[in-house]
Structure 1
Amino acid sequence: MRISLLTIGLALPAVLAAMPAQAKVVEITPSSRWNLDYGETKCRLARLFGEGDAKHVLFLEQYWPGQRVGMTVAGPSFKRFASRARTDLAFAEGQEPRRTEPFAGAVEGYGDAVIYSQINIGAALRDDAEEAAADATEDLTLPLLDKEGARKAQFVGLKQRGDEYRLMTGPLDQAFEALDACALDLVGSWGLDAEAQRTATRMPQWTNRDGVVRRIVATYPREAARTGEQGIMRMRVIVSPEGKVEDCVILKATETDRLDSPACRAMANAQFEPALDAAGQPMRSFFAESIVYQMGR
């Protein structure tokens, strides 16, 4: 689930999409194993690719259990990638690339980066019928990463205006198993019963979503708007058995100077149908969203 992106009237420069005459595929092989960081507020899978001056890094991050991950790739191959420009994204040979518009940024020690707020890698590797069936249940029970789809992964491939750069990950199912375990551990750190969440028959359902979302997207922080600052936030609320918001936390997924989301103030008025446990009884649970603040184009 994602809150609608905020758009205000600051035009960004256009990007020309001229295709070089001889675009090629550049494969970058792993130079480390996966490393999983059990952070206080997030789980991060990291892996290095390439060596020396050609060193790259891939991060897959979760702030709560779900079918989507935040994804960042960084390294010299992405030096000319422009922010919010059309980028073809693929994970396996023969897969129809997805047209995406990621952010550009930087990662200390690795240089230029391409940043995705949330992406469902497993669904991208399934056919349309399989993807529709998975999406139909996402909002009802606790969603976890799609390991079956991720088993089909061969690489993370990005192409913007010329060559396609592939980080050769191989299958991602075992990596996703570990990331799921970490995300469920996070749930316990919030004072919730992780097993009860995993076996819930229904997660919280936001009943006055439209009105609250309008308040959130109508209040782009003034200083950030003035300087054109953009960013990705993660919002998590604890929902009581009565469907009330007990607590709200905003975490920055990208570094910002003046961009601080007012979303938690609006969420004080949010109303939910509470989560239901394995026996169908209301229980304490959580609801989470990604919020992307971006300037108009």
Structure 2
Amino acid sequence: MTARDALATLVVAALLVPPPAAFATEPETTALKPQSPWFVDWNPTTCTLGRSFGSEQEPVALRFERAEPRDGFQMVFVGQWLQRVKAGTPLELRFGTYPAEDVRYSSGLGKATDDVPVVFVSSPGIVEPALEEEEDEAWRVNPGPRVTPEMEAAADSVTLATPDHALLLETGPLDKAFAALRKCTDDLVSQWGLDPAVQAKLQRRPIPKVSPSRWIGPQDYPLKALRKGEQAILIFRLLIDAEGEPTGCEILRAYAGFDEFSKSTCAHIRTRARFEPALDANGQAVPSYYVNTVRFAIP
């Protein structure tokens, strides 16, 4: 095993959340009311739903980011309160009264440009436990939505908690805000040259012929970044033709300090990724897309 192999681990997968693990005692809770209305920010690669909470002096920003029409999302928390979250700290995420998710292994820490703490969390969305266990495999075969507007309306807060401290954001019912986010992701699909109505009714999404974990390996970790201890989370999108061949790759969002992560990732994936093509409602092979996440992590 090389030194690079020993130092670097990399996962290519939709980030899965382990089973919930309840804290032994109730953490001290800070509850914050909204400071601003919801907004949706559209750009050619991702859609962002955001809102600010707390006071002007100590605000906390919450962002939901989606790169495709799907129940899950990347969540971004920004604010000084987040300095309580340390690397390796047990971390739970809860929507309203739904069961808490253990997100310690699907989260990351960072800093905003003004040195304000940031916590990134990859979540399957407001998913009931029975659905969450099958979320990844079921999505590959049947891409239909499983989170209903009624479930979103029942989720009226977002809580991020460590064993000692909890941040409760009083979002109010999330159904209308998420409806605006879905409209945005449908527009994204149109921008990629695909029909959102066809994609929403697929019998089957593109299925990788080999595990995505084989597309990128420890040997692909950018050496300069590895030496500096830099880590990264990259969300990428492949366009897949009716033969199952990738015809395009784009980095949709990069949580990274080095451009080398983005420059090399698409080149490796386009060379190595092959698919069983998507099937439309009539069972015919059609062009589609595939979105996933690469996480460059040093243990």
TM-score normalized with structure 1 length: 0.84
RMSD over aligned Cα, in angstroms? 2.7
Look up the match of 2:261: 260
Q: Per-residue deviation at 1:46?
A: 0.6
Look up the match of 2:289: 286
- Matched letter for residue 35 of structure 2: S
- Matched letter for residue 93 of structure 2: L
Cα 1:96–1:59, aligned 2, differ >3 Å: closer, same or farther?
Answer: closer
Candidates 87, 90, 97, aligned match of 2:94: 90
- Matched letter for residue 51 of structure 2: R
Instruction: Summarize the alignment of residues 119-138 of structure 1 with structure 2, pairs less than 5 Å apart.
Output: 119-123=123-127, 126=128, 128-132=129-133, 137-138=138-139
Look up the match of 1:140: 141
Q: Which segments of 5 or more consecutive residues in structure 1 lack a partner in the other structure? A: 1-5, 12-18
Q: Per-residue deviation at 1:158?
A: 1.6
Aligned residues, how many?
Answer: 278
Asked if structure 1 preserves the Cα contact closer than 8 Å seen for 2:209 and 2:276, the reply is yes
Look up the match of 1:244: 245
Q: For the residues of structure 2 that align with 1:22 and 1:68, how far apart are their CA atoms?
A: 27
Is 2:203 aligned against 1:205? no
Q: For the residues of structure 1 that align with 2:101 and 2:225, how far apart are their CA atoms?
A: 33
Cα 1:8–1:92, aligned 2, differ >3 Å: closer, same or farther?
Answer: farther
Look up the match of 2:108: 103
Is 2:44 aligned against 1:40? yes
Look up the match of 1:276: 279
Cα 1:210–1:192, aligned 2, differ >3 Å: closer, same or farther?
Answer: closer
Instruction: Give the secondary structure class of the aligned counterpart of 1:279.
Output: coil
Asked if structure 2 preserves the Cα contact closer than 8 Å seen for 1:231 and 1:255, the reply is yes
Asked if structure 1 preserves the Cα contact closer than 8 Å seen for 2:250 and 2:266, the reply is yes
Look up the match of 1:15: none
Candidates 157, 160, 178, aligned match of 1:158: 160
Q: Which segments of 5 or more consecutive residues in structure 2 lack a partner in the other structure? A: 10-22
Q: For the residues of structure 1 that align with 2:227 and 2:238, how far apart are their CA atoms?
A: 29
Q: For the residues of structure 2 that align with 1:76 and 1:37, how far apart are their CA atoms?
A: 23
Instruction: Give the secondary structure class of the aligned counterpart of 1:138.
Output: helix
% identical aligned pairs: 27
Q: For the residues of structure 1 that align with 2:101 and 2:207, how far apart are their CA atoms?
A: 33
Q: Per-residue deviation at 1:99?
A: 4.8
Q: Per-residue deviation at 1:88?
A: 2.1
Mean Cα deviation higher: 147-156 or 195-204: 147-156
Q: For the residues of structure 1 that align with 2:85 and 2:51, how far apart are their CA atoms?
A: 21
Q: Per-residue deviation at 1:289?
A: 0.6
- CA displacement, residues 52-108 of structure 1 (integer Å, 9 cap, x when unaligned): 212111000011222210001111211232134321222224734535242111234
Q: For the residues of structure 1 that align with 2:213 and 2:181, how far apart are their CA atoms?
A: 34
Mean Cα deviation higher: 45-54 or 134-143: 134-143
Asked if structure 2 preserves the Cα contact closer than 8 Å seen for 1:66 and 1:145, the reply is no
TM-score normalized with structure 2 length: 0.83
Asked if structure 2 preserves the Cα contact closer than 8 Å seen for 1:56 and 1:76, the reply is yes
- Matched letter for residue 265 of structure 1: A
Look up the match of 1:195: 197
Asked if structure 2 preserves the Cα contact closer than 8 Å seen for 1:155 and 1:170, the reply is yes
Asked if structure 1 preserves the Cα contact closer than 8 Å seen for 2:204 and 2:280, the reply is yes
Q: Per-residue deviation at 1:122?
A: 1.2
Instruction: Summarize the alignment of residues 35-74 of structure 1 with structure 2, pairs less than 5 Å apart.
Output: 35-74=39-78
- Matched letter for residue 61 of structure 1: E
Cα 1:145–1:55, aligned 2, differ >3 Å: closer, same or farther?
Answer: farther
Cα 1:133–1:83, aligned 2, differ >3 Å: closer, same or farther?
Answer: closer
